[in-house]
Chains A and B, each alone.
Chain A
Amino acid sequence: AAGVIQSPRHLIKEKRETATLKCYPIPRHDTVYWYQQGPGQDPQFLISFYEKMQSDKGSIPDRFSAQQFSDYHSELNMSSLELGDSALYFCASSSRDRVYFGAGTRLSVL
């Protein structure tokens, strides 16, 4: 069965650079979520989209933005990267029965 696809799996950036993370939800899933998991931390909700509209927002920095496109894929854009942005970024999609997570993108900011 198709799963949530995230790309890239690993990303190395330098401070003040920009990064774009992509997420392809499971087909026919109408909600996409982004989470950030710092080293040794639990995943923290950033933002979600329902039918391509932003549905909720968590503790997402102003330097970050996200959108969901007409084909339902979503992108998380991060600008002016800081060392503290180094984390595992998860995308998830949901249907009526459960929330499915992608394998994550590991971002390292040097």
Chain B
Amino acid sequence: AQKVTQAQTEISVVEKEDVTLDCVYETRDTTYYLFWYKQPPSGELVFLIRRNSFDEQNEISGRYSWNFQKSTSSFNFTITASQVVDSAVYFCALSELNFGNEKLTFGTGTRLTIIP
């Protein structure tokens, strides 16, 4: 069975600080996808990144960066120079690498509040 753990339920930081959201996963599959989604107060799920298990390269997109470490089953997400608009609930998710069925198993989410 797949499981995603986001141990940080809530985080608050002052604007412009850096913040890292942790994600640890469990799966018996040797190939899989990992995702991060942002859910702002309006409720929609905004896709941030998908990473397949073959690719352990870290990725940077603007103020966002992701650190994938297969050895520790972690896929952490860092926001640099945080802004108030980053306030949201962030979900880490895992899916099998199964064409035609990429159902996601979500973590319980981390509520991030950026204090102006």
Q: How many A-B residue pairs have CB under 8 A?
A: 58
- The distance in angstroms between the C-alpha atoms of A31 and B35, with both chains bound, is 18
| B50 contacts partner chain A, Cβ-Cβ < 8 Å | yes
Cβ–Cβ contact A99 & B44, under 8 A? no
Within the complex, the shortest CB–CB distance from B107 to chain A, in Å, comes to 6
Q: Which 9 A-B pairs have the closest CB atoms?
A: A42-B106, A50-B100, A101-B45, A103-B44, A45-B103, A98-B50, A55-B101, A42-B108, A56-B101
A interface with B by C-beta (< 8 Å): 30-31, 33, 35, 41-45, 48, 50-51, 55-56, 58, 88, 90, 94, 96-104, 106
Cβ < 8 Å to A, chain B residues 44-102: 44-45, 47, 50, 91, 95, 99-102
Residues A43 and B101 in contact in the complex (CB < 8 Å), given A97-B50, A103-B43:
no
- The distance in angstroms between the C-alpha atoms of A102 and B104, with both chains bound, is 15
Taking CB atoms, residues of chain A closer than 8 Å to B20 are: none
B interface with A by C-beta (< 8 Å): 35, 37, 43-45, 47, 50, 91, 95, 99-109
Q: Of all chain B residues, which has the CB nearest A44?
A: B106
Cβ–Cβ contact B91 & A31, under 8 A? no
Q: Of all chain A residues, which has the CB nearest B42?
A: A103
Q: Of all chain B residues, which has the CB nearest A33?
A: B103
Cβ–Cβ contact B104 & A43, under 8 A? yes
Residues A42 and B45 in contact in the complex (CB < 8 Å), given A94-B102, A99-B102:
no
Q: Of all chain A residues, which has the CB nearest B105?
A: A45
A-B contact pairs, 16 of them (CB 8 A): A31-B100, A33-B103, A33-B104, A42-B108, A42-B109, A43-B91, A43-B104, A43-B106, A45-B103, A45-B104, A48-B101, A55-B100, A98-B35, A99-B50, A101-B45, A106-B43
Cβ–Cβ contact B43 & A104, under 8 A? yes
Q: A43-B104, A96-B99 are in contact. List 11 more A-B contacts (CB 8 A).
A: A31-B102, A33-B103, A41-B108, A42-B106, A43-B45, A55-B100, A56-B101, A98-B50, A99-B50, A100-B47, A101-B45
